């Protein structure tokens, strides 16, 4: 499994000149009509890495996965975006949104829970959800459910945090035929979100 994880510490890695950027990243940006919103970032073999400069979010996707970038039209261009990857039955979407009004983590997680229940009317809470434990990361909230997708039981979760003016959300959905698979999916979602937040904190920290 090769999930999308925002894991590049931007302040520590030089961004290549746009003309020298990996062609796969340029192609993904073009295919997603995301020019001027996302830009290529330094990558390694087998990965497509793009950056959303406004928020500091970096998305790393497997070159063999089904990938796309989303620029949502309901907000000013570049103020509500996402990276999505799908591979081996797992779907991971990382959002970065700057709202035009004040919001809270409680409001955000309640909104996500409502959206999941609307999409999956059969959603049942996954009671084992554990918060990510780290004093170095921003405050965050999590919610998880069992749902049916294409007739199969799946684990689906949302992790939400606020980093500066941005709300960062990671949605993770994976097959979960049994409790062990659900626990593995929960752990993977938590690791992905923790890495996302850690790198955002580093990227946004004042440089000496």
- Give the Å distances, CA to CA, from 6 to 99, 154, 156: 21, 23, 19
Domain assignment of residue 50, yes or no = yes
d(CA 39, CA 82): 13
pLDDT at position 163 is 87
Task: Record the tokens describing residue 55, joined without a space.
Answer: 């928020």
d(CA 181, CA 203): 33
Domain assignment of residue 5, yes or no = no
Domain assignment of residue 3, yes or no = no
pLDDT at position 146 is 97
Residue tagged 């070159």 (tokens) = 63
Domain assignment of residue 42, yes or no = yes
- Residues 6 or more apart in contact with residue 207 via CB below 8 angstroms: 11
Number of domains in the chain: 1
Q: pLDDT by residue (tens digit) across 56-86? A: 998 989 988 999 999 999 889 999 999 999 9
Sign of the C-alpha dihedral computed for residues 9, 12, 13 and 14 taken in this order: positive
Q: What is the CATH number of the domain that holds 96?
A: 3.40.1000
Domain assignment of residue 24, yes or no = yes
pLDDT at position 101 is 87
pLDDT at position 73 is 92
Domain assignment of residue 196, yes or no = yes
pLDDT at position 119 is 95
Q: pLDDT by residue (tens digit) across 135-192? A: 677 788 899 999 999 999 999 999 999 988 899 999 999 999 999 999 999 999 999 9
Domain assignment of residue 4, yes or no = no
pLDDT at position 131 is 61
Q: pLDDT by residue (tens digit) across 3-47? A: 443 333 222 223 333 434 589 999 999 999 999 999 998 877 888
- Give the Å distances, CA to CA, from 157 to 16, 79, 88: 34, 23, 17
- The model's confidence at residue 208, banded by pLDDT at 50, 70 and 90, is low
- pLDDT surpassing 90 at residue 126: yes
Domain assignment of residue 22, yes or no = yes
**pTM for this entry:** 0.84
- pLDDT surpassing 80 at residue 93: yes
Q: Which domain holds residue 106?
A: 10-204
């Amino acid at each position: 499994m090769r999930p999308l994880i925002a894991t590049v510490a931007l302040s520590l890695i030089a961004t290549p000149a746009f003309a020298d950027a990996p062609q796969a990243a340029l192609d993904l940006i073009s295919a997603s009509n995301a020019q001027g919103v996302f830009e290529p970032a330094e990558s390694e073999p087998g990965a497509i890495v793009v950056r959303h400069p406004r928020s500091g979010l970096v998305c790393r996707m497997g070159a063999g996965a089904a990938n796309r970038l989303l620029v949502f039209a309901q907000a000013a261009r570049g103020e509500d975006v996402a990276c999505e990857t799908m591979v081996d039955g797992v779907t991971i979407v990382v959002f970065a949104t700057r709202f035009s009004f004040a919001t809270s983590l409680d409001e955000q997680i309640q909104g996500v829970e409502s959206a999941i229940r609307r999409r999956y009317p059969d959603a049942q809470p996954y009671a084992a959800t554990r918060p990510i434990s780290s004093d170095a990361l921003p405050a965050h909230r999590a919610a998880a459910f069992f749902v049916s997708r294409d007739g199969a039981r799946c684990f689906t979760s949302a992790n939400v945090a606020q980093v500066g003016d941005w709300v960062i959300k990671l949605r993770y959905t994976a097959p979960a035929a049994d409790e062990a698979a659900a626990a593995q999916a929960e752990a993977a979602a938590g690791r992905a979100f923790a890495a996302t937040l850690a790198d955002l904190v580093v990227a946004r920290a004042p440089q000496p």
